[in-house]
């Protein structure tokens, strides 16, 4: 049995949990309903473990992920009974903002951990129902699919002489999904009205920002466990439109690239897609970011295509490199000295994650240059730390601040060694 399916110690969904759920199952002959499947103890246990594993910040009630089992032991029966009775009202999501790589801000909506668990349980139940209905050309937020597969598909299209791309950017997609149209799509596949009503409650739960709650009449806010599944359900109609037109396309969530043979065809497809999205799905195209271009120049999921010795490859896009350097500078800080080892761990994790994601790219020469750049930045910090440490020792200073700087120096030395090993093993020319 997989770890995520095992019940944790003191699990609030153990055998004793059956005492509350069996009577609710049998009421109204709903034992086979989708809602009963959502609230099945095994399904809830799996959802609870996933929420705890993913961690994340607390919602408006302040309950953290590690405290979810304790919260459920006290509120479980009331929570489940309210959902079965159709009387449950989710708390508003906590709205915060995170910085986007391009410098803008992306809104992030954080439900309470209990609501994240219920949303996760819903997603686990509905994913197998909708998965067969999704397009083969949709790669985002789906089991067994990845961004790497998406970019490889784009590479295949270019090799087949589809050398022009229609790069569509939907303006604020997750915040502008039409609730009524989305709910109608759900009703077309789900007969359990109570489950659809519960999803509706989550869509309209409201947003809490700066201490003020406000209703939300549209959107599937990013941050909730249901949002990825619902976003794919909503855009499947667009996928079918593209398939019906015989188009070669790749979609990853709201990022969609369509590949054609000529610029004239690309401009025509851009117009038809814009009309469809605006009329059939009530979505707006970001005209500044949506472009007709060359796949060797445009950016898709951080990558771009390239030609090496007559062959089509994949490279890291120039803008991605710029963002990488900005992120590294941000982690290292302006002072040249890290106050604790936490920033060192953050740096190592970021480098490792970045290299893992872009591992499919052709970048021997680019990575050598990037390695030297990163080494120089780390070297600057090591020298700065060493200089400051020398000054302190000259003065006979053995304060905690001095010891902390010495620790930072050692951390940077370890960072350098780990970074060198990773880059050499994966990317450096033999």
**pLDDT tens-place values along the chain, 430 residues long:** 343 444 555 566 665 555 555 455 545 445 458 999 999 988 999 999 999 999 888 999 999 999 999 999 899 989 999 998 899 999 999 988 776 655 556 778 899 999 999 999 999 999 999 999 999 999 999 999 999 999 999 999 999 999 999 999 999 999 999 999 999 999 999 999 999 999 999 999 989 887 788 888 888 878 889 999 999 999 999 999 999 999 999 999 999 999 999 999 999 999 999 999 999 999 999 999 999 999 999 999 999 999 988 899 999 999 999 988 888 888 777 654 445 566 667 777 788 788 888 888 887 667 778 877 877 776 655 444 334 333 433 333 334 443 344 344 444 555 555 555 555 455 444 4
Closest alpha carbon to 314 in 361, 356, 354, 357: 361
- Residue 318's region, left for phi above 0, alpha for psi from -120 to 50, else beta, is alpha
The owner of tokens 């050398």 is 163
Relative to beta strand 207-209, strand 93-99 is parallel
Distance of CA 217 to the CA centre of its chain: 23
The owner of tokens 């009421």 is 27
- Residue 10's region, left for phi above 0, alpha for psi from -120 to 50, else beta, is left
267-287 as b/e: b if 16+ CB within 10 A: eebbeebbebbeeebebebee
d(CA 233, CA 227): 10
Helix H or strand E encompassing 250 = strand 248-252
Task: Quote the pTM value.
Answer: 0.83
d(CA 392, CA 430): 43
């Amino acid at each position: 049995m997989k770890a995520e399916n095992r019940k944790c110690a003191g699990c609030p969904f153990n055998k004793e949990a059956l005492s509350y759920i069996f009577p609710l199952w049998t009421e109204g002959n709903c034992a086979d309903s989708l809602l009963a499947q959502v609230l099945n103890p095994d399904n809830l246990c799996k959802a609870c473990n996933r929420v705890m594993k993913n961690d994340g910040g607390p919602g408006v009630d302040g309950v953290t992920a590690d405290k979810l089992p304790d919260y459920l032991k006290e509120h479980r029966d009331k929570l489940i009974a309210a959902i079965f009775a159709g009387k449950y009202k989710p708390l508003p999501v906590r709205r915060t903002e995170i910085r986007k790589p391009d410098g803008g801000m992306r809104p992030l909506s954080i439900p309470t951990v209990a609501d994240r668990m219920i949303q996760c349980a819903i997603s686990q139940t509905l994913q197998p129902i909708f998965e067969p209905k999704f397009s083969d050309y949709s790669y985002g937020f789906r089991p067994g699919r990845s961004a790497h597969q998406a970019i490889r598909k784009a590479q295949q299209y270019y090799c087949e002489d589809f050398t022009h791309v229609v790069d569509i950017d939907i303006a604020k997609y997750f915040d502008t999904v039409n609730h009524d149209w989305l709910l109608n799509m759900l009703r077309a596949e789900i007969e359990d009205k109570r489950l659809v009503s519960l999803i509706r409650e989550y869509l309209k739960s409201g947003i809490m920002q700066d201490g003020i709650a406000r209703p939300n009449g549209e959107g599937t806010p990013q941050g909730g466990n249901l949002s990825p599944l619902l976003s794919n359900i909503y855009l499947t109609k667009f996928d079918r439109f593209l398939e019906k037109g015989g188009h070669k396309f790749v979609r990853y969530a709201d990022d969609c690239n369509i590949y054609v043979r000529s610029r004239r065809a690309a401009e025509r497809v851009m117009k038809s897609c814009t009309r469809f999205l605006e009329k059939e799905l009530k979505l707006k195209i970001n005209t500044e970011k949506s472009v007709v271009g060359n796949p060797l120049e445009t950016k898709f999921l951080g990558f771009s295509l390239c030609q090496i010795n007559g062959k089509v490859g994949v490279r890291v896009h120039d803008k991605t490199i710029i963002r990488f350097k900005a992120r590294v500078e941000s982690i290292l800080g302006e002072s040249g000295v890290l106050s604790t080892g936490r920033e060192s761990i953050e740096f190592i994790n970021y480098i490792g994650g970045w290299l893992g994601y872009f591992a499919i790219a052709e970048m021997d020469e680019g990575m050598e240059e990037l390695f030297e750049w990163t080494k120089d930045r780390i070297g600057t910090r090591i020298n700065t730390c060493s200089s400051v440490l020398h000054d302190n020792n000259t003065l006979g200073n053995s304060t905690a601040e001095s010891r902390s700087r010495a620790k930072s120096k050692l951390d940077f030395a370890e960072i350098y060694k780990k970074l060198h090993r990773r880059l050499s093993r994966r990317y450096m020319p033999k």
